[in-house]
Amino acid sequence: MSAFYFIGMIGLGLVLTLVLEGVVLLPLLLKQNDKMPLAAFALVNVATNISINVIIYLVGLFGCFLDGFMSEGLRFALIVIALLLEIFVVQIEYCILKKFVEHRHLFWYVLGANALSAVVGSILLALLSSI
């Protein structure tokens, strides 16, 4: 994977995440009449999305380096790591956003937004990278 491909995928992934999660969470964030929830939402997503992508990239890179190629086992390990990281991210995002947004079902909104962004984002990125 070239360096520009890497940065393009990370940038695109971040933009897709912000748009898709924004679609779900924006009604809650705008209700607060304050810019702080919006800033918190953007910052949390920048921090978590970039971290997840870099971790997955590095694990894949070192796995390929050790195995010599992208094996089935490595692919499975990457999916498991991505899922675990995604669960961790939902927790972090919820813990931070609940300090700024008061809503009974905030956790489910955050979970839904992350699930939507993970599924749709993965499909779109896979389609784009196959072009």
Partner 1 sequence: MLKLLLDVISPTEEILQMLDDNWLTIVLVIVCVAVAAAAAVGIALLLRRRKNTRAEREEKDKNGRNEGQEKE
Between 36 and 76, name the residue whose CB sits nearer to partner 1: 36
Binding site for partner 1 (CB under 8 A): 1-3, 6-7, 10, 36, 39-40, 43-44, 46-48, 50-51, 53-54, 57-58, 61, 65, 96, 99-100
Between 47 and 124, name the residue whose CB sits nearer to partner 1: 47
CB 14 within 8 A of CB 50: yes
Between 54 and 76, name the residue whose CB sits nearer to partner 1: 54
Classify burial at 27, counting beta carbons within 10 Å of its beta carbon; exposed 0-12, middle 13-18, buried 19 or more.
exposed
| Shortest Å distance, C-beta 47 to partner 1 | 4
- Measured CA to CA, the distance from residue 110 to residue 116 in angstroms comes to 10
- Measured CA to CA, the distance from residue 65 to residue 79 in angstroms comes to 18
| Shortest Å distance, C-beta 50 to partner 1 | 4
| Shortest Å distance, C-beta 28 to partner 1 | 16
Between 58 and 87, name the residue whose CB sits nearer to partner 1: 58
- Residues contacting 16, CB < 8 A, separation 6+: 117, 120, 121, 124, 125
